[in-house]
């Protein structure tokens, strides 16, 4: 035991040293060299891939979304959930039976100047969307988006998928037509559905369906013989381009010189002339942020320490620095506020949960085992200890940031009831002996995170399960490998989360539809014929009381069977400096650290007052932003908005 005490003492000493260093940094931060046009962030999960057809996790998705555009996107300025055309010129024309989508493509949108067309303009065409969707339907691509996006929904895609299985990867004929996906001309895309699917408009916003020029794909992959060459490349029409990436060091983005200046305007017909001349310079995006630099930093405290020094423009508060950063009333500490740090609390459409491998018979058949493991978890304590209180203990599958959330709902197995859990474990052990022989085996609980905090939280789960009579071991693997192994169904029990793709509960309910099983989004491989029938009926319906009733029945089935145990919903406490913000309609600068919940990282929208950053970091300017303006000690160095600003 003595060596354990020594290790613990050493660990606590390190934490104390770093916290003290952070406090010192608040008082006298050294000069930090920052480029005036660059936004600085940290990342800690290593992306799995930059291939939009394959990427199915948030970190890679964040990087991809810096560069790619879909046909549609959310309005980031006015109505939070309003959908507006991006690469599409208008909203889709949908046939009377809601089976045919006809989409006009925005003209003159140009790709970056790269091989194989370097020196010659290459514009987005409808055929680029057709090719991207065919890649998704190619068996060899192993796209997890296929099940979620198109399987059984778009006419002919299942036939293409089955055909691709019959040939080697390089031999897949991408000239082979898919009846339901056609380019009617260079600027008209048509998609035909097997049955109505109201959520399809949300799919058309996803990066997986972004255009990909076939000749670029063939050039990069050497005619489809080296498809892995796409893993760390991004080609898109968005505001940024990938400049450089080193796996565990950094990821840099630079402004795309071919970008048209805003997602909802047409491209410049003069090609090399730059953004659309109809936009005034102050309206052209990216605004002040012409470069974005992400630096890899696995552990929370070192990331936080660098944020307090001004290396990063934005951060979350680690558990071990929470007391010094956030006051008793939940506001930013006086020391941080003096240095221009502000915060926002944003409920997220995210459910953090424990998943169970429902394709393992002794786990699938033993419902009491899963129920007991769920009841053993003290959700309130977990949020308090491991999320700094910035979260909401779950009361069901649907999180609090969704329209369908019900505050008065209570899932019967998401309470904290150790006594009942112990009774269920005795039943579970008896069931295992009678049906599988012998005692319950040791259960392996896996986390796709190797940080110190992750190890502490997994140990907390293990101890809770040990108290009710279970033998559980924990393991931690790097994020990318975790996702790969999860798709291969190599885990028994794991920690994961699901971020809603769009504001409809169907995005969560799709996780339990059996055709979506791994390697699709149904990572638990849960299968229930009653649930599948309800899901098939519900997804064809427009929102309304009848669909709401079907959703409720599906949720009740999931709560009964417990393929997952929801633990908490995210509430993100973002801290950032007041040199990042936006201009209001009167031209006033408003410090802001978080955009709309449905917009992913979009630094192109940010306003960056580099002069204020320099004054704070290099010249020690202190005082809250509103006080600086009120006392006349600082004047915002940003252009006023024009009448055609977003």
Residues of the chain short of pLDDT 70, as ranges, are 1-31, 76-81, 268-278, 585, 593-601, 641-646
Rounded distance between C-alpha atoms, residue 370 and residue 565, angstroms: 8
Residue 512 lies in a domain: yes
H/E stretch holding 120 reads none
Rounded distance between C-alpha atoms, residue 631 and residue 646, angstroms: 30
- C-alpha Rg value of the chain to the nearest Å: 26
Pairing of the two strands 240-246 and 250-255: antiparallel
Domain match, 174 and 279 both: no
Rounded distance between C-alpha atoms, residue 140 and residue 51, angstroms: 14
Give the residues across from 346 on adjacent strands: 572
Domain match, 190 and 266 both: no
Q: Residue 379 is part of a domain; what is its CATH number?
A: 3.10.105.10
Domain match, 567 and 610 both: no
Rounded distance between C-alpha atoms, residue 404 and residue 567, angstroms: 18
What Cα–Cα distance (Å) separates residue 139 from each residue in 53, 324, 549, 591?
12, 52, 36, 47
Domain match, 282 and 203 both: no
Buried b (16+ CB within 10 A) or exposed e, 233-268: ebbbbbbbbbeebeeeeebbbbbbebbbbbbbbebb
Give the residues across from 341 on adjacent strands: 577
Half-sphere exposure of 381 (CA within 13 A, CB side): 9
Domain match, 8 and 121 both: no
> Tell me, what's the pLDDT at 584?
74
Pairing of the two strands 38-43 and 291-296: parallel
Taking the CB of residue 138, how many other CB atoms lie within 10 A of it? 22
What Cα–Cα distance (Å) separates residue 160 from each residue in 117, 503, 598?
29, 30, 32
How many distinct structural domains can be found in the chain? 3
Question: What is the span of the domain harbouring residue 644?
Answer: 1-44+247-340+578-646
Q: Tell me which of 177, 201, 230 is where a domain ends.
A: 230
Domain match, 527 and 458 both: yes
Asked if residues 390 and 571 have their Cβ atoms less than 8 Å apart, the reply is yes
Which of 510-515's residues contact partners 24+ apart within 8 Å by CB, and which partners?
Answer: 510/148, 510/535, 511/564, 512/554, 512/558, 512/563, 515/147, 515/151, 515/152
Asked if residues 378 and 548 have their Cβ atoms less than 8 Å apart, the reply is no
Rounded distance between C-alpha atoms, residue 483 and residue 501, angstroms: 18
Residue 293 lies in a domain: yes
Residue 50 lies in a domain: no
Helix 2-27 with 300-309: angle, nearest 10 deg: 20
Domain match, 567 and 583 both: no
Q: Tell me which of 186, 204, 230 is where a domain ends.
A: 230
pLDDT tens for 311-349 read: 999 998 888 898 899 988 889 999 999 999 999 888 888
H/E stretch holding 413 reads none
Give the residues across from 568 on adjacent strands: 352, 393
What Cα–Cα distance (Å) separates residue 88 from each residue in 95, 183, 490, 514, 557?
17, 13, 41, 33, 39
Residue 236 lies in a domain: no
Domain match, 91 and 208 both: yes
Give the residues across from 236 on adjacent strands: none
Rounded distance between C-alpha atoms, residue 191 and residue 202, angstroms: 14
Residue 49 lies in a domain: no
Q: How many residues does the chain have?
A: 646
Domain match, 392 and 521 both: yes
Q: Residue 78 is part of a domain; what is its CATH number?
A: 3.90.76.10
- The vertex-297 CA angle with 497 and 377, nearest 5°, equals 30
Rounded distance between C-alpha atoms, residue 626 and residue 590, angstroms: 10
Buried b (16+ CB within 10 A) or exposed e, 501-533: bbbbbbbbbbbbbbebbbbbbbbbbbbbeebbe
Domain match, 334 and 355 both: no
Half-sphere exposure of 529 (CA within 13 A, CB side): 0
Joined together, the tokens standing for residue 602 give 């979009």
Name the pTM for this structure. 0.83
Which residues neighbour 118 within 8 Å (Cβ) at sequence distance 6 or greater? none
Which residue, 77, 324, 56, is CA-closest to 206? 56
- The vertex-624 CA angle with 623 and 629, nearest 5°, equals 90
Domain match, 360 and 328 both: no
Residue 205 lies in a domain: yes
> Tell me, what's the pLDDT at 95?
96
Rounded distance between C-alpha atoms, residue 64 and residue 227, angstroms: 18
Q: Tell me which of 540, 571, 602 is where a domain ends.
A: 571
Domain match, 101 and 164 both: yes
Residue 638 lies in a domain: yes
> Tell me, what's the pLDDT at 550?
96
> Tell me, what's the pLDDT at 457?
95
> Tell me, what's the pLDDT at 27?
40
Residue 51 lies in a domain: no
Which residue, 244, 43, 253, 51, is CA-closest to 138? 51
């Amino acid at each position: 035991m003595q060596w354990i005490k020594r290790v613990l003492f050493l660990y606590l000493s390190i934490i104390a040293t770093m916290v003290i260093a952070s406090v010192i940094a608040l008082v006298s931060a050294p000069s930090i060299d920052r480029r005036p046009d660059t936004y600085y962030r940290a990342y800690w999960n290593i992306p799995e891939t930059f291939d939009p057809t394959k990427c199915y996790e948030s970190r890679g998705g964040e990087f991809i979304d810096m560069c790619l555009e879909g046909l549609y996107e959310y309005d980031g300025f006015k109505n939070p959930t309003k959908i507006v055309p991006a690469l599409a010129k208008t909203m889709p024309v949908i046939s009377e039976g809601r089976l045919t989508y006809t989409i006009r493509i925005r003209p003159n949108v140009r790709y970056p100047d790269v091989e194989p067309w370097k020196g010659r303009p290459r514009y987005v065409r409808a055929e680029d969307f057709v090719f991207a969707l065919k890649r998704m339907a190619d068996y060899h691509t192993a796209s997890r988006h296929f099940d979620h996006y198109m399987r059984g929904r778009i006419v002919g895609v299942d036939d293409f998928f089955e055909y691709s299985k019959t040939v080697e990867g390089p031999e897949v004929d991408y000239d082979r037509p898919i009846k339901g996906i056609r380019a009617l001309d260079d600027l008209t895309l048509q998609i035909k559905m097997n049955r109505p699917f109201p959520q399809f408009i949300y799919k058309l916003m996803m990066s997986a369906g972004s255009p990909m020029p076939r000749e670029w794909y063939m050039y990069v992959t050497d005619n489809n013989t080296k498809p892995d060459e796409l893993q760390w490349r991004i080609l898109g029409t968005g505001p940024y381009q990938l400049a450089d990436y080193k796996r565990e060091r950094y990821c840099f983005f630079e402004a795309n010189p071919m970008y048209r200046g805003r997602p909802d305007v047409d491209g410049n017909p003069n090609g090399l002339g730059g953004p659309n001349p109809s936009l005034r310079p102050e309206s052209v995006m990216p605004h002040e942020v012409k470069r974005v630099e992400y630096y890899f930093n696995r552990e929370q405290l070192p990331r936080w320490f660098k944020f307090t020094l001004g290396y990063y423009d934005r951060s979350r508060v680690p558990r071990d620095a929470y007391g010094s950063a956030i006051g008793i009333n939940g506001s930013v500490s006086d020391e941080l506020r003096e240095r221009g740090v502000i915060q926002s609390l944003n409920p997220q459409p995210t459910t953090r949960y424990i998943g169970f491998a429902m394709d393992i018979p002794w786990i699938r058949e033993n419902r009491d085992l899963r129920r007991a493991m769920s009841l053993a978890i003290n959700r309130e304590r977990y949020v308090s200890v491991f999320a700094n209180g910035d979260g909401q203990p779950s009361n069901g599958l649907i999180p609090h940031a969704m329209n369908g959330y019900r505050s008065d709902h209570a899932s019967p197995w998401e309470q904290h009831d150790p006594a009942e859990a112990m009774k269920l474990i005795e039943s579970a052990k008896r069931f295992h002996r009678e049906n599988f022989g012998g005692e319950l085996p040791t259960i392996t609980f896996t986390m796709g995170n190797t940080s110190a905090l992750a190890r502490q939280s997994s140990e907390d789960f293990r101890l809770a399960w040990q108290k009710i009579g279970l033998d559980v071991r924990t393991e931690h693997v790097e994020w990318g490998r975790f996702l790969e192994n999860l798709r291969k169904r190599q885990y028994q029990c794991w920690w994961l989360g699901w971020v809603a793709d769009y504001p409809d509960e169907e995005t969560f309910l799709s996780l339990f539809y059996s055709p979506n099983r791994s390697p699709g989004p149904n990572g638990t491989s849960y299968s229930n014929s009653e649930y599948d029938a309800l899901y098939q009926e519900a997804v064809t319906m427009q929102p309304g009381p009848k669909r709401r009733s079907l959703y409720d029945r599906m949720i009740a089935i999931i709560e009964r069977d417990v393929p997952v145990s929801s633990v908490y919903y995210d509430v993100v406490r973002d801290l950032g400096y007041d040199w990042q913000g936006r201009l209001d309609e009167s031209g006033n600068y408003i410090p802001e650290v978080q955009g709309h919940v449905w917009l992913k990282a979009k630094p192109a929208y940010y306003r960056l007052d580099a002069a204020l950053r320099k004054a704070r970091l290099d010249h020690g300017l202190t005082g809250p932003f509103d006080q600086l303006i009120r006392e006349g000690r600082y004047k915002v160095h940003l252009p006023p908005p024009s009448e055609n600003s977003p």
